[in-house]
A and B are shown apart, each in its own frame.
Chain A
């Protein structure tokens, strides 16, 4: 037996529950006297509701209530009550607030009935008359109206030097515009909330969310409930990718109905309604790169315009990557946003990084051809040995290793540098690469660890597992820290009564909650040791500190005499303890601020393009990741594979199409919003390069949820150029663009 788990490929501890259906998701919870709510959505993008006729629907036996802006209960109506932890600056959307329509598919009524089928039918009978106003939903037409937000949500552009002079000095210059459309998260599980009202009126709220605490605070503020009165539970999430960072309107509506009707209510959005809230914003990005003849960058200009809603100023870290990814003295950055009649965009896997580095890395590819340098060589010429944007050293950066190992595995040296030079029959073959980066963050988080006399350990924190493997890696960390077999360790999450944890996002959960779990288990070790010190029959000579012992294989060993050991259960018995419990809060160390902390990647892609049809097949991808310590290579690999697959989607398939006549996403289902299917996914390889980092956090892990998608799309786009000689700058590259 060995209790060393960190760094070992480990199957998901919740895998069996998931594949057997035992794992329960928000829409699957049963509740006393459950009723069903179905949302009615607006069919126009802008205007007002003139009249709503709910009489026919209300007359159906079994329909309990139809909530609209006309009859909704009085609630907290201040903007700030609706703000949540992920709100951008502005006034959050308030469901059923008034008759105004702010975006297409806006929820305008909730029909509650005794069965789901009845509620759905009744919803179809609600008749609405609108007074429409002209809407704007075309970002391209809003270039002139784009503005600099008074406050950026996450990152303010950090220009430096003098790009104009830099460009004037440059021997070679490229300038191009890159666009990508709005995209939706499309998690497999639709958003859902079940509010269970017990006989005594106690509420239990099962919500699809990336933070039970965020949901809890949101409904507490709006409905005037104490946190005790509003317990939010979310043990399993069927994919979220950022869509669960903000409380969605089904939570509000289910809560409102449950409180009004004093009945349990379940509200599940339809697949079409999954296109009615946050999404990755469309962007228009201009890149100007100036370089010396040897490829060294003289200037980088990155100007971006992105969409936002009429009511909030959403912005993401879109352009700062152009200041940190390469060494360059002169960087000019602007990031403007434009108001459209859509719902506010929302963080979606590697928000900003995916979009910004798609543009930057395609531009770098163009520069490589302009300078007649190998694209990999160009990256090495401009390799940043520190973060020039903040003039800080990197806490660690093994990107060179990513380039080297990735290139070797991929066979980059077999690439003929000339575009449209490689083919097999009618297939044009192309190879492309791109760099990726993602910011590493540790937030503050708490965890509780409870060790029972039978040697079982339960660790808990109010974080989430959105399919990323949180349950598994936290169990690994706890088991290894305390030296217990994994089978004796359980990790609990997704319950607002548990110790506080931040939103599950930003790739920070492994570092943040992992550090808390580690520290909680270390505190337990202290307690066990204290018990041994005070025990009358301790087998050890007086032991002073943790330095003197090793916890492994369920036992405590003396470091200088491994013959001497005591089992953890025995140690507790000797100390007369039935249960040991600690709750700790782990905070990031202050010295982190002296460093730039990033994970990096080098992505290599091979595509095969039919020369007559323009159909693109991504035949091979190698993604080499420098992401610090990899806690679980198995789940980590899955994360990166998912990122690559999404990169294929972004490069070739994904687009939330807005019909401009209706101001409405029109391909709103999974038949017509294309994501890659198995047949689109061929040979994918993930390399984790060694990267040691003591600064990022006590675990040394950088987080891998997002880095896998960054760079993937650009590598594919660059490979398409290499295959065809056609530079497509508007995503997705559907076949018509290559004809």
Chain B
């Protein structure tokens, strides 16, 4: 870890200005990912701007019937927020499937979607990694790539995005509100994270001078029919090998709208509109789910150690859809559960 200067921003404007003034500056909020990366010399900011005093912690109703999540609201406060739990249980479940209680108490919503990959090679400066050091190569391609991408990867990077929350946000079609020197803009969630292409060092489309101020959830929350299914190597405190956020609108047995987002399989939360369209207007049958799953995995490509994710992903999609259909309308009282059992 290197030496750095530290300031505490009191207004959004000064925070943005401060960030723009130093080339290697970083915002810090919960610090649950950044400080880890600084300790292993993967991140080396020379200036840290603590934004925790900014008034971005609130969760408020939007005029369109949606909900605005402050960028600095903690993951725990968000997941346990009455409106989130009631109207967006998919999001609450996804958040609670991630990390540990301690981490969720510190981690913020803005930071969550900005967290960096858990690729072993990204974390180890003794190895080649284009994301950490552009042009150095990708050790994961020919290394131990069990946890790596099967969709949307490139020859430069096969890392995956580690967030659970982001998978639910992708399914919910959230919008990310940001502020920069050029003013405010709103980024649709599907455009927020990038695929690696030939620039894997860029995780997302946020500009260097921009800061996330909030995340907007549209009115539609799929509270009646949804599932967040996370498959991993242990029951808690492990990143997803494959996760599925599913949301359905149903009319009787007919699916009127389907959202399926996958985690653990790509550099960004993975959506496939064609697959979702395949389900629209169809009945909720195993056969139809199978078609959708096959469509999502149609172009999946495995590497030496992770080909299992293709079949696992298909089965996870089918199970998640099945759970979303069958879920009872009773409010969930056990958000602490993160296992694969039907909720």
Residues of A within 8 A of B (CB): 43-44, 104, 117, 120-121, 124, 270, 272, 610, 612-613, 615, 617, 652-653, 657, 659-662, 664, 666-669, 671-672, 674, 676-680, 734-736, 739
Contacts and interface: CB of A to CB of B under 8 A. Distances in A.
A434 B308 CA distance: 30
B1 A117 contact: yes
B139 A613 contact: no
B312 interface: yes
B120 A659 contact: yes
Given A677-B235, A739-B308, 14 more contacts: A124-B2, A124-B41, A270-B39, A272-B40, A617-B339, A659-B121, A666-B124, A669-B123, A672-B120, A679-B234, A679-B236, A734-B233, A735-B241, A736-B241
Nearest to B338: A679
Contacts of B120: 657, 659, 666-667, 672
Given A121-B2, A672-B118, A615 B231 contact: yes
B238 interface: yes
A615 B118 CA distance: 21
Contact of A735 (B1, B233, B237, B319): B233
25 contacts: A43-B126, A117-B3, A613-B315, A613-B316, A615-B231, A615-B340, A652-B234, A659-B143, A661-B127, A661-B143, A662-B127, A666-B124, A668-B124, A669-B123, A671-B118, A672-B120, A676-B234, A677-B235, A678-B236, A679-B234, A679-B338, A680-B235, A735-B231, A735-B241, A739-B312
A666 B233 contact: no
Contacts of A104: 126
Contacts of B1: 117, 120-121, 124
A666 B316 contact: no
A659 B144 contact: yes
Contacts of B311: 739
Given A659-B127, A662-B139, A677 B118 contact: no
B235 A679 contact: yes
B145 to A, nearest CB: 10
B142 interface: yes
A613 B339 CA distance: 12
Nearest to B242: A613
Contacts of B40: 272
Interface of B: 1-3, 39-41, 118, 120-121, 123-127, 139, 142-144, 146, 231, 233-239, 241, 308, 311-312, 315-316, 318-319, 338-340
A680 B234 contact: yes
Contacts of A664: 124, 126-127
A481 B308 CA distance: 61
Nearest to A648: B234
A735 B125 CA distance: 29
Contacts of A657: 120, 144
A653 B338 CA distance: 18
A617 to B, nearest CB: 7
Contacts of B315: 612-613
B139 A674 contact: no
Of listed B126, B308, B340, residue having the most chain A CB within 10 A:
B126
A43 B234 CA distance: 30
A660 B304 CA distance: 13
A662 B128 CA distance: 10
Contacts of B236: 677-680
Contacts of A668: 124
A165 B338 CA distance: 54
Contacts of B231: 613, 615, 735
A674 B3 contact: no
Top 10 closest pairs, chain A to chain B, by CB: A43-B126, A679-B235, A736-B308, A679-B236, A666-B120, A612-B315, A677-B236, A680-B235, A659-B143, A677-B237
A662 B124 CA distance: 11
A22 B108 CA distance: 33
Contacts of A679: 234-236, 338-339
A611 to B, nearest CB: 10
A270 B237 CA distance: 20
Given A272-B40, A662-B126, A677 B139 contact: no
B2 A674 contact: no
Contacts of B126: 43-44, 104, 662, 664
A672 B118 CA distance: 9
Contacts of A671: 118, 237, 239
B334 to A, nearest CB: 13
Contacts of A677: 234-237
B306 to A, nearest CB: 8
Contacts of B127: 659, 661-662, 664, 666
Given A612-B319, A617-B235, A666-B124, A661 B118 contact: no
A674 B238 contact: yes
Nearest to B147: A672
